Structure 1
C-alpha cells in the first residue's frame, strides 16, 4: 500500500518524538534512534524531518522520479558523500550507547580487578551506536569497521573511571573509520519484513535499551533521606522486600486470591476493595488497637482509654507534647470515622427494613 504524505505529517505531529512516522514508512532503524534520543537529540531531528518527509515518502513508495534521482546520485558518487548531520548523529548515538553501557555496570563490581573485564563491552556499545545511524536510509556499512574503530582506543580504558572522555574518543575514531572504509550505497531497498517480525525486533531492541537504564538505576543510584543519609537503590529494594509493608501486602494478596478460589472472584473483588480501605475503617480500628468488627462498647472503651493516655495536658516536655497532640488527634479522628460509619449503616439498614415492610404489606394486602 502506498504511503501518504498527509498521514506521515499527522504521525510526525502526534508521535514524531518517538519515531511514529518513521515506523509508518518502514524506517524502523530511524524510528529506534528517534525513540532513544527523544526525537533526534531533544527534538532537533524531529524538526529536521519537517522538510524531509516528502523525500522519505517517495523513497518508501519507490516513486519513479525519485528512483531516477537516486540512480543519477549513485552514478555521480561511488560512495555516499560526507554528511555533517549523519556524522554528528553517529557521534552522539555512539557516545550515548557507550556511556550507557558503562553506567549500567555495577560500580562496586568494577572496583575488583576480575570484574573490570566487563569494561570490554563499552566500546561494543559505541560501535553499535555508530553502526545504527550509519545504516539509516540509503546508506549502509559493515559493522566490523565501527567495531575496529571503537576498540582501537581500548588500551586507554584502564583509566576510564578517572577519564570518561575516552568514550567520546572511541566514538570519533569509530565514526571516522566507518565513514572512511565501511560506507557504501544501499542500492536496493530493504526487504519488507512481516509486521510480527518488525514488532519483535523493535521490542527486543527497546527492552535491551531500557534494561541498560534499569541496570544503571538499580546498581548505581542512591536514595537520600530527609536527614541526609543515602542508601543505594538495590540495597533499599532488598530491605523493602523484608519490610512489614511488603509482608502485609503479600499476605493480603494471598488471602484475596484464596478467597477467589474458594468463594468466587466476586469475593476476591470485595476483599481487594477492603484492602484499599476506602472508608478508613480498617485504619481506624488499628489506631484504637481493636480487631475489625469490635462492638460499640469496645470502641468507646478503647477510645476513652487512649484519649486519656495521649491527652496533651499529660505531657509537659515540648517534643512529647507535640507527639501526644498528633496522636490524640489521630485517635479522635479514628473514633469519629467509626461513629460516622455506624450512623450511615444504621440509616441504610433502617431504609432496607422499611422497604421490606412496605413490600410485604402490598404482597399480603
Structure 2
C-alpha cells in the first residue's frame, strides 16, 4: 500500500521521538534508534521533517531497482557522529545495567551494537564482525574502563564506515516487525530496569531503617543514665 506524506507528517508530529513515522515507512532500524534514544537524544527527530518527502518516495519505490549511487554509499559525517554518540551511550548503559558482566565483554559488545544500529539506518548497513572486532581490540587496550567507551566507539565507527554498503531490500509483515522491535527494546531496557529496581529496593530499605535508627539515638541518653545509675549503685 502506498505511503502518504500527510500521514507520515502526522505521525512525526504525534510520535516523532518514538519513531512512529519511521515504523510507518518501514524504516524499522531508525524507529528502534529513535525509541531507544528518545528521538536522537531528544532533538534529532525534529530534522526528520526535512527528509520525510524523500523517505516517503523511497518507501513507495521499494521493490524497484536502486537508482544511482554506485555500489558503496557515500561517506556521511552525521552518520559517523551518530555512530560514535550512540556507541558511547550504549557503552555507558551497559556499565550501569550490567555491572555483573565483565567490562571487557559488556562494554565492547554494547558499543559495537550501538554502532551497528546507526550503521543500519536507512538503506545502508555494514559488516558486523569488523565493527565488533575493532570494539573488542580497542577495549583491551583500555582494559575495559568506563571512559574507554569513547575510543572504543570511535574505532568501531571507523570500521563501520570502511565496510559500509547498501542493504538488500526485504519486505516483512507488520506483526513480525513489531515483534522484533519489541525484543530489541526489551533486551536494551530490561537490564537497566533491573538495576533501577535494585537501587530503589536499597533506597527503600534504607528509608525503612531510618525510624529504628532514630529511635536508637533518642534512647541513648536513657540507656546511658541507666548504666550510670547501676554503676553508682542506685
Contact 1:146 1:174 in 2 (8 A): yes
Out of 228, 235, 238, the residue aligned to residue 202 of structure 2 is 235
Call closer, same or farther: CA 1:156–1:185 in 2, change over 3 Å. same
2:151 paired residue number: 169
Counterpart-to-counterpart distance in 2, 1:159 and 1:101: 12
Does 1:183 find its partner at 2:164? yes
Equivalent residue runs for 1:259-298 within 5 Å: none
Q: Which has the larger radius of gyration?
A: 1
Long gaps (5+) in structure 1: 110-114, 222-232, 242-365
**CA contact 1:149–1:178 (8 Å) conserved in 2:** no
Aligned equivalent of 1:254: none
Deviation at 1:140, TM superposition (A): 1.2
Give the secondary-structure state (helix, strand or coil) at the position aligned to 1:7.
helix
1:71 aligns with 2:67: yes
Higher relative contact order (CA 8 A, sep 6+): 2
Question: Aligned to 2:143, what secondary structure does the other structure show?
Answer: helix
Aligned to 2:221: none
1:159 Cα offset (Å): 6.3
Decide whether aligned partners of structure 1 residues 94 and 141 sit closer, same or farther in structure 2, where only a CA change above 3 A counts.
same
Distance in structure 2 (CA, Å) of the matches to 1:14 and 1:235: 37
Q: Deviations over 1:25-84 (max 9, x none)?
A: 11111001011111112122x1211110011111111079xx67x42222xxx4211101
Q: How far apart, CA to CA, are the structure 2 residues paired with 1:240 and 1:197?
A: 45
Q: Distance in 2 between matches of 1:159 and 1:61?
A: 45
Question: How far did 1:148 drift?
Answer: 0.9
TM-score (norm 1): 0.53
Contact map agreement 2:19 2:30 (CA 8 A) in 1: yes
Q: Is the 8 A contact 1:127 1:150 kept in 2?
A: yes
Q: Secondary structure at the match of 1:153?
A: helix
Aligned-residue RMSD, C-alpha: 2.4
Report the equivalent of 2:185: 206
Show the counterpart of 2:60.
61
What residue is the counterpart of 2:229 in the other structure? Answer: none
Separation (CA, whole Å) in 1 of partners of 2:144 and 2:110: 18
The alpha-carbon deviation at position 240 of structure 1 amounts to 9.5
Q: TM-score, normalised by structure 2?
A: 0.81
Structure-2 residue corresponding to 1:125: 110
- Report the Cα distance in structure 2 between the residues aligned to 1:27 and 1:21, rounded to whole angstroms: 8
- Whether the 8 Å contact between 1:126 and 1:170 is mirrored in structure 2 is yes
Aligned to 1:95: 88
Instruction: Answer yes or no: is 1:137 the counterpart of 2:122.
Output: yes
Q: Which runs of 5+ in 2 are unaligned?
A: 209-234
In 2 relative to 1, CA 203–237 (structure 1 residues): closer, same or farther, beyond 3 Å?
A: farther
> Following TM superposition, where does structure 1 have runs of at least 4 consecutive aligned residues deviating by more than 6 angstroms?
238-241
Q: Specify the SS of the correspondent of 2:91.
A: helix
- How much does 1:216 deviate? 3.3
Kindly provide the CA deviation profile for residues 84-128 of structure 1, in whole angstroms up to 9, marking residues without a partner as x. Answer: 11111111111111110011133xx5xxxxx6x354121100000
1:215 positional shift: 3.1
1:154 to partner: Cα distance: 2.0
Q: In structure 2, what is the Cα distance between the partners aligned to 1:238 and 1:118?
A: 28
* 1:72 aligned counterpart, secondary structure: coil
Match runs of 1:20-99 below 5 Å = 20-44=20-44, 46-62=45-61, 70-74=66-70, 78-99=71-92
Separation in structure 1 between the aligned mates of residue 62 and residue 202 of structure 2, nearest angstrom: 58
